[in-house]
């Protein structure tokens, strides 16, 4: 096999794909998804907290409304208080304020600050949590004062907690990133695997392949297709990574306003993502090429590649289970099954669960399977690439490959 011929076909495939509308659209959609991953939760919180909630508080015991206002220091973007506490004399006055629209909620405190009731047309979780925290802090402060302890504010100073997992497990917030990477891995394995098949069948049906095979061998043509399409995937991932890096850098310079914090995510997560994408693409790209090369029309390729799509889906759903329990016996076994390994083992590695022996063993099994898949795909490709007029199913292609 001549490398210069493989490189020529790979460059041709890369140029065509980078200029295609589908590549540009999917790259743009992926970039928007990355922006959403960083900022949508923060934007949602900002929208929810962008206005002032007026809370009518029955001021019994006297001073509870003032104390509650001090315990609710949050501000909206324009600088106004997030919660405006209105002191009223009794429950009847509170109801009138609620009915007149001067209050969004009413809080009535029980004797001794031991209980409280909040009433509103819709009691949101954010409002209930904020009022609950403020009432708890106010109750503790009053009890300390009753015992002669003067609180200067240091009693309620928050503790800065840093999480360090001895097992290497990442934070719950960072699990969102692992899920997003898993979803990207799932979609791109399907996308680029089927793109290899579509490219092969399209050139075959337009008779371009016949001209190419006058100067290159079928194995060189297959290798060029796989390398070129893999390079397209790396270019796309590089673009997405650049977008993420720019957003994250700007966010850190601006004070870290984005909801997603990458500080707790181990570097092994990103290394594993890239490594298992390459392994998964090499495996599924070879299998898609071998199974679909017998198609003479582009509409026949999806049906021939359907079993591989099912395998990718199975791997994805098992990986979703691994997000909750990466040490589950079914998950652990599935991570060692080569067609399922790219997604399942990636998820386990990202969550810090498998041993080094498991990871090395899984990679060795996948590499061996890739070698076998490439060998079979090469033999099938040599037979099926110039087969026209009929759709060659997997059984017939395998028989022709054995005979060849």
Please report, for the chain, the start and end positions of each structural domain, with discontinuous segments joined by +.
3-42+170-403, 50-146
CB atoms within 10 A of CB 196: 27
Cβ neighbors of 384 (< 8 A, separation 6 or more) are 293, 294, 392, 397, 400
Produce one character per residue of 310-322: b if its CB has 16 or more CB atoms within 10 Å, e if not: ebbebbbebbbeb
Query: What is the residue whose two structure tokens read 């008779």?
Result: 207
- Domain 50-146: give its CATH superfamily: Periplasmic binding protein-like II (3.40.190.10)
Residues of the chain with pLDDT under 50: 161, 163-167
Cβ neighbors of 116 (< 8 A, separation 6 or more) are 107, 108, 109, 110, 131, 135
Q: What is the pLDDT of residues 298-338, one digit of tens each?
A: 776 777 778 888 999 999 999 998 888 888 889 999 999 99
Cα 233 versus chain centre, distance: 17
In whole angstroms, give the CA distance from residue 21 to residue 19. Answer: 7
Q: Of how many residues is the chain composed?
A: 404
Torsion angle of the four alpha carbons 237, 242, 243, 248, in this order, in degrees rounded to the nearest 10: 120
Task: Give the pLDDT score at 261.
Answer: 56
Task: Give the pLDDT score at 207.
Answer: 64
Task: Give the pLDDT score at 166.
Answer: 46
In whole angstroms, give the CA distance from residue 353 to residue 403. Answer: 45
Torsion angle of the four alpha carbons 129, 135, 140, 146, in this order, in degrees rounded to the nearest 10: 180
Burial (0-12, 13-18, 19+ Cβ within 10 Å), 241: middle
What Cα–Cα distance (Å) separates residue 94 from each residue in 66, 150, 389? 16, 32, 82
User: For the chain, what is the largest distance between any 2 Cα atoms, rounded to a whole number of angstroms?
Assistant: 96
The answer to whether 74 touches 81, Cβ cutoff 8 Å, is: yes
Packing angle, helices 172-205 and 218-253, rounded to 10: 150
In whole angstroms, give the CA distance from residue 390 to residue 69. Answer: 79
Produce one character per residue of 151-165: b if its CB has 16 or more CB atoms within 10 Å, e if not: eeeeeeeeeeeeeee
């Amino acid at each position: 096999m001549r490398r210069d011929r493989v490189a020529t076909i790979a460059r041709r495939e890369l140029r065509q794909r980078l200029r295609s509308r589908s590549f540009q659209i999917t790259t743009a959609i992926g970039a928007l998804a990355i922006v959403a991953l960083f900022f949508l939760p923060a934007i949602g919180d900002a929208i929810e907290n962008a206005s002032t909630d007026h809370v009518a508080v029955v001021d019994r015991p006297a001073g509870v409304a003032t104390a509650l206002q001090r315990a609710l220091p949050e501000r909206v973007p324009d600088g106004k208080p997030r919660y405006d506490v209105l002191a009223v004399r009794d429950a009847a006055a509170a109801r009138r304020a609620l009915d007149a629209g001067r209050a969004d909620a009413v809080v009535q405190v029980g004797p001794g600050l031991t209980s409280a009731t909040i009433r509103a047309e819709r009691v949101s979780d954010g409002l209930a949590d904020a009022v609950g925290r403020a009432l708890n802090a106010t109750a503790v402060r009053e009890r300390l004062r009753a015992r002669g302890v003067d609180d200067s504010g240091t009693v309620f100073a928050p503790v800065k907690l840093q999480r360090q997992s001895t097992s290497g497990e990442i934070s719950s917030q960072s699990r969102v990133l692992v899920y997003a990477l898993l979803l990207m891995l799932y979609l791109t394995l399907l996308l680029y695997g089927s793109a290899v098949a579509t490219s092969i069948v399209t050139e075959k049906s337009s008779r371009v392949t016949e001209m190419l095979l006058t100067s290159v061998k079928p194995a060189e043509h297959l290798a060029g297709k796989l390398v070129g399409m893999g390079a397209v995937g790396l270019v796309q991932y590089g673009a997405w990574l650049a977008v993420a890096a720019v957003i994250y850098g700007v966010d850190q310079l601006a004070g870290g306003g984005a909801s997603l914090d990458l500080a707790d995510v181990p570097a092994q997560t990103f290394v594993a993502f890239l490594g298992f994408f390459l392994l998964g693409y090499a495996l599924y790209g070879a299998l898609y090429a071998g199974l679909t090369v017998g198609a003479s029309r582009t509409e026949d390729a999806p049906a021939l590649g359907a079993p591989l799509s099912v395998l990718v889906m199975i791997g994805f759903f098992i990986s979703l289970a691994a997000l909750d329990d990466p040490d589950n016996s079914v998950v652990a076994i599935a991570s060692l099954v080569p067609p399922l390994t790219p997604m399942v083992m990636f998820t386990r590695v990202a969550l810090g669960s498998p041993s080094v022996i498991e990871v090395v063993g899984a990679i060795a099994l996948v590499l061996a399977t890739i070698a076998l898949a490439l060998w079979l795909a090469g033999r099938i490709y040599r037979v099926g690439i110039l087969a026209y007029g009929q759709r060659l199913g997997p059984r017939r292609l395998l028989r022709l490959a054995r005979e060849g």
